[in-house]
A = this chain, B = another copy of it.
Amino acid sequence: MSSTDLVDQHCHGVLRQGPVDTAHFGSLLTESDAPPAPGTSHFDSQLGFAVRRWCAPVLDLPANCPPDDYLARRRELGTPEVTRRLLRAAGLSTLLVDTGLPGDLLTPAELAEAAGAPAHEIIRLETLAEAVADRDPDAAAFPDRLAEAVAEAARTAVAFKSIAAYRHGLALDPTPPTGAELRAAAGHWLADRRPGGRLTDPVLLRHLLWSAAESGLPLQIHTGFGDPDLRLPDADPLLLTDFVRAVRPTGCRLVLLHCYPYHRGAGYLAAVHPHVYADVGLTLGHTGARSRAVLAEALELTPFGKLLFSTDAYGLPELYLVGSRSFTAGLGELLDGWVKDGSWAPADAARVAALLGGGNARRLYGLPGA
């Protein structure tokens, strides 16, 4: 695969300090909130193995070295150097950073500096709405304050992001709420809310989706697996079918993130709806040696102009490198196989690699070089 343009279309900050110890590192290698099975560690997963495979050499260790050696070397080098090395090695040419996650994380500008590549911001809708409510808990003012915040965000961000899948599930009424519904829902939510309180009201979640849809920016939506906060069937992207149809006239482009194990359904939506795109972001790193197989499934129905690359990296800079290598190595092997057996022409493989790696994202988000 000759493409050298890699646009990470969905990622997050990494920890400024740390992780503090082995257990902390392990906790960032899993979507679980709990210890691993007795006698094993969170390194005992496809993601854990993939970290040892891809990251160890970048820290001057042999690939697949033992976890303890890896963590010792990591401490020796220090977080800033490890972060810089791993982010550079990821070979990203642009980062689109969802800044809505908590923690003492590097900012997009700091990530850009470490990666040696420009970073742009994605605004997480629920975090935005919660910040509006924190600043001004007046329910009557909330709709206007929120509209202002969305408009302001749209001036600098490249996309919005929804985690409605976590907060309620994707089985939402597909239509925009009326003004009266919105006011009632805001009143209800803000009546007993304390600062930092989560937005889980389905009317407000829908309103956020529609606010983003009407902003002109692409709207990324978490679908598929994630942490245990999620009921997986409620995150099936096919639950968005009616919303996909309803939102089409606004011109909004929808990006289905992650999607696993529903990535084939996501591919169908991308195939038949002109405004639907998909990635298998989070999935790539978490499935490690199997990421090629998952990517192959995503490449069944998804048109080649609709599939995107992302790492969904968060917390650990390792996740940037693992996501990037899983994608480039996995896609490279797939395409080589198809060229070798005569299914595809070499020039087609190169062109599709360039579209998936960066071209589709540049076009979708209006990035330089599109």
The chain A residues found within 8 Å of chain B, CB to CB, are 30-40, 42, 44-46, 49-50, 52-53, 63-64, 225, 227-228, 231-233, 236, 238-239, 241-242, 245, 260-261, 264-265, 268-269, 271-274, 277, 286-290, 293-294, 296-297, 299-301, 303-306, 338, 341-345, 348, 352, 355, 359-360, 363
Contact = CB atoms under 8 A, between A and B. Distances in A.
Nearest to A268: B225
B272 A227 contact: yes
Contact of A303 (B40, B290, B306): B40
Nearest to A34: B274
A124 B113 CA distance: 60
B344 A49 contact: yes
A289 B338 contact: yes
Point out which of A299, A305, A341 has the most chain B C-beta atoms below 10 A from its C-beta.
A305
A286 B302 CA distance: 10
Nearest to A37: B305
Given A46-B301, A49-B348, 10 more contacts: A31-B271, A46-B300, A52-B345, A53-B344, A63-B342, A225-B301, A231-B238, A231-B241, A260-B264, A294-B300
Given A300-B287, A343-B289, A360 B271 contact: no
B363 A303 contact: no
Contacts of A64: 342, 344-345, 348
Point out which of A30, A35, A40 has the most chain B C-beta atoms below 10 A from its C-beta.
A40
Nearest to A30: B271
A338 B49 CA distance: 11
Contacts of A296: 290, 293
A261 B264 CA distance: 6
B225 A233 contact: no
Contacts of A261: 264-265, 268
Given A343-B289, A360-B37, A44 B305 contact: yes
A46 to B, nearest CB: 6
Point out which of A49, A288, A300 has the most chain B C-beta atoms below 10 A from its C-beta.
A300
Contact of A45 (B228, B271, B287): B271
A238 B228 contact: no
25 contacts: A30-B303, A32-B271, A33-B272, A36-B274, A36-B303, A37-B274, A38-B363, A39-B359, A40-B355, A45-B301, A45-B303, A46-B299, A53-B342, A64-B344, A228-B273, A232-B238, A232-B265, A233-B236, A233-B265, A286-B301, A287-B300, A290-B297, A290-B300, A293-B296, A294-B300
A305 B37 CA distance: 6
Contacts of A241: 231-233
* 9 nearest CB pairs, A to B: A37-B305, A40-B305, A34-B274, A261-B264, A64-B345, A228-B272, A289-B343, A44-B304, A287-B300
A236 to B, nearest CB: 8
A231 B348 CA distance: 32
A261 B39 CA distance: 29
Nearest to A40: B305
Given A32-B271, A342-B63, A344-B53, A44 B303 contact: yes
Nearest to A338: B289
A288 B348 CA distance: 14
Nearest to A272: B228
Nearest to A236: B233
Nearest to A345: B64
Contacts of A233: 236, 238-239, 241, 265
